[in-house]
Amino acid sequence: MGWASGSKVFGEIIQVLLETVENDETRKEIYAGLIEIFEGAADCDTLYECKGEDDAFDDVFEELYPEDDLADLEEEWEMNPNPYGDADD
C-alpha cells in the first residue's frame, strides 16, 4: 500500500533541515537515509514531488533516479494517481 501523502511530510522535513542544517553534504546524507526509509518501510513513491525545494535533496534524488527514470515515475503517477483506492476502502 502506497503512502502518497509522504511527499507532503517529506517537504516539511526539508524545510526544517534547510532552517537547521547549513552544510549541504550533511543534508545530503540525511536525505539519503530518509529517502530509503520513506520509500522502503513507508512505501512512499511520490518523493519526486519534493524536487526543487532544496538543491541537496535534488542531487541525492537525481543520483537515485536519473531524469529518464523520473519521467517514468511521473507518467505512471499521472496515469494512476491513486493506485490503491481510498484509504477508507
One-letter amino acid of 5: S
Helices (H) and strands (E) in the chain, counts: 4, 0
Residues 6+ apart with CB under 8 A from 32: 60
Q: Is residue 54 part of a domain?
A: yes
Q: Is residue 87 part of a domain?
A: no
Beta strands in 1-89 (DSSP E): none
Q: Is residue 86 part of a domain?
A: no
Q: Is residue 32 part of a domain?
A: yes
- The pLDDT-based confidence of 89 (bands split at 50, 70, 90) is very low
Domain count, the chain: 1
Q: Is residue 1 part of a domain?
A: no
pTM: 0.71
- For residue 24, the enclosing domain spans 6-79
Q: Is residue 12 part of a domain?
A: yes
Q: What average pLDDT does this structure show over 49-53? A: 94
Q: Is residue 25 part of a domain?
A: yes
